[in-house]
Amino acid sequence: MENIFSLNQKIGDIVVKFPRAMEILKKYKIDFCCGGDRPLEEAVKEQNLNGQEIITEINEDYNKYVMEEIKDRDWSTEPYSKLIEYVVNTHHAYLNETLPRLSELTTKILRVHGANHSELAKVHKLLHNLKMEMEQHLIKEEESVFPLIVEYETTGDKETLKNAVEKIIELEEEHEGAGSILKELREITKNYELPQDACNSYKMTYKLLEDVEDDTFRHIHLENNIMFPRLIEESKRI
């Protein structure tokens, strides 16, 4: 077996080359979006995990992937406009549909189960903080930052690229904030462990919260680990 990946590689670089590694990292609760700019070894030591076991699993999965000759879309080489279109139509659309639904569900289960499960008040508050922050964040991306990137791709204008890169720092800080809320939600719910008296609405709420976490981390990965570094690197060359 050929070992393509090693523990001293950055988490984000591993996921860029092999997107399916996200599933393995998720299993071990290793942050591949906001924490993607640090070596895998650092995250492994911090969480007292078996680094050799994890990197072996990633390499084995990668070799199976190569043998299957199934190629995931390589977003690191796609035009910015195509990547942006995918992010907006896939990840932004999902959040715009799901966050209002979760708002209703968290309010409902707080009313019904809040007296017996005090953590639901915190879940309700965190979800609404996330909803507000992400709604504003998506608008900023779609109305302010993404048009600059598409304009730069079309015109090659240096000033336009500079303006886009300046706004990227703010977006990355907002990603960090969203990631922190999602991690806190996972901690408060004890990894979304359902109580014995959980009704269908309770179950649906926790399932959707997990889905939002997964979708948001994939969304942030595409921007923090692929789109933004490309733009920053290009800005240094011109």
195, part of any domain: yes
Give the amino acid at 43. A
Q: How far out from the chain centre does Cα 170 lie? A: 16
Residues written for the chain: 238
143, part of any domain: yes
Give the amino acid at 97. E
In degrees and rounded to multiples of 5, residue 39 shows phi and psi of -65, 145
The verdict on 114 and 226 lying in the same domain is yes
- The 3-state secondary structure of 58-83 reads HHHHHHHHHHHCCCCCCCCCCCHHHH
Among 44, 68, 92, the domain-final residue is 68
The verdict on 125 and 211 lying in the same domain is yes
137, 129 in Cβ contact below 8 A? no
99, part of any domain: yes
92, 222 in Cβ contact below 8 A? no
45, 237 in Cβ contact below 8 A? no
The verdict on 231 and 187 lying in the same domain is yes
Per-residue pLDDT tens over the stretch 135-156: 999 999 999 999 999 999 999 9
74, part of any domain: no
Tokens, residue 207: 């399932």
The verdict on 91 and 147 lying in the same domain is yes
Please list the pLDDT of the chain residue by residue as tens digits (238 residues): 567 889 999 988 888 778 778 888 888 988 887 767 889 999 899 889 998 999 999 988 887 776 665 556 788 889 999 999 999 999 999 999 999 999 999 999 999 999 999 999 999 999 999 999 999 999 999 999 999 999 999 999 999 999 999 999 899 999 999 989 998 999 999 989 999 999 999 999 999 999 899 889 889 989 998 999 999 999 988 7
The verdict on 50 and 89 lying in the same domain is no
The verdict on 48 and 115 lying in the same domain is no
Containing structural domain, residue 46: 11-68
Q: What is the pTM of this model?
A: 0.75
Question: How many domains are contained in the chain?
Answer: 2
Among 42, 68, 94, the domain-final residue is 68
194, part of any domain: yes
210, 193 in Cβ contact below 8 A? no
